[in-house]
Amino acid sequence: MKKYLNMLLLPAIVAVSSCGLDNYDAPESKLHGRVVYNGEPVGVRGTGEAVQLQFYQDGYELRNPIPVYVGQDGTFEAKLFDGEYKLVTRDNNGPWVNDRDTTVINVNSTANVDIEVTPFYTLSNVQLSLSGSSVNASFQINDITGDRDIDYVMILVSKTSFVDDVSYTARRDIRDLTAGTTVTEALDLADNADFNAGSSLFARVGVRAIGKDQAIYSQVVKLR
């Protein structure tokens, strides 16, 4: 299935090799986008270029994909030359169903685009708070597809606003959880050096389905 989007305004990031291209202008058209479910941005791991979308352009001898990396809040940006592009999710990458429907985009100047995905789980009613040296987390896990069990859930904190399963200063993994009920758990930071040094504190929770390479996350909350 192809989704056709004719746009006057668009966003993303394109790496252009300097070898042999010194006489060419850099791309100026901009694509701004979001990965969404039911119109809401999907939280992902934002570090290490972990979650990727891919652009293709027909009519050229080299058809290697142009990678575009999704930020932890589900947004992405790119600079492109004007023209027609095909945008797909990377194969078997991301905390969602591996549906690689093609979105065809006609780039002319700038624009916005939402890429709809179907995550295996979502997180709702997320509440994160700091009480003494304890990060308290309350949230609900919602089973969207009904065909994958939960591997584990994470409570994560960091001294920077980048928080995920690689970028953190403290972490607690919780297993044997089922979807559909409210989860209330805590992460003790009494012995955490960064916490005791008075560093800034950011937190989020994540849930990973069995057999997937990535977790889906709540949005980042600043606690201190």
What's the CATH code of the domain at 200? Answer: 2.60.40.2060
Q: Are residues 134 and 84 in the same domain?
A: no
pLDDT at 123: 97
Q: Is the pLDDT score of 218 beyond 60?
A: yes
Q: Are residues 208 and 148 in the same domain?
A: yes
Domain holding 112, by residue range, is 2-116
Q: Which amino acid is at 203?
A: A
Q: Is the pLDDT score of 4 beyond 70?
A: no
For the chain, state the CA radius of gyration. Answer: 20
Q: Are residues 87 and 126 in the same domain?
A: no
HSE of 102, CA atoms in CB hemisphere, 13 A: 11
Q: Are residues 138 and 191 in the same domain?
A: yes
For range 65-84, the mean pLDDT: 91
Last residue of a domain, one of 90, 116, 142: 116
pLDDT, mean over the chain: 87
Q: Are residues 141 and 213 in the same domain?
A: yes
Q: Are residues 108 and 66 in the same domain?
A: yes
pLDDT at 61: 57
pLDDT at 3: 45
pTM value? 0.84
Last residue of a domain, one of 54, 81, 116: 116
pLDDT digits (tens, 9 = 90+) for 126-168: 999 999 999 999 999 999 999 999 999 999 999 999 999 999 9
Count up the domains in the chain and report the number.
2
Q: For 25-45, b where at least 16 C-beta lie within 10 A, e where not — what string?
A: eebebbbbbbbebeeebbbbb
Q: Are residues 130 and 213 in the same domain?
A: yes
Q: Are residues 33 and 81 in the same domain?
A: yes
pLDDT digits (tens, 9 = 90+) for 81-133: 888 888 999 999 999 999 888 888 888 887 788 999 999 999 999 999 999 99
Q: Which CATH number do you get for residue 60?
A: 2.60.40.1120
Q: Are residues 146 and 87 in the same domain?
A: no
Q: Are residues 71 and 151 in the same domain?
A: no
Q: Is the pLDDT score of 10 beyond 60?
A: no
Q: Are residues 130 and 110 in the same domain?
A: no
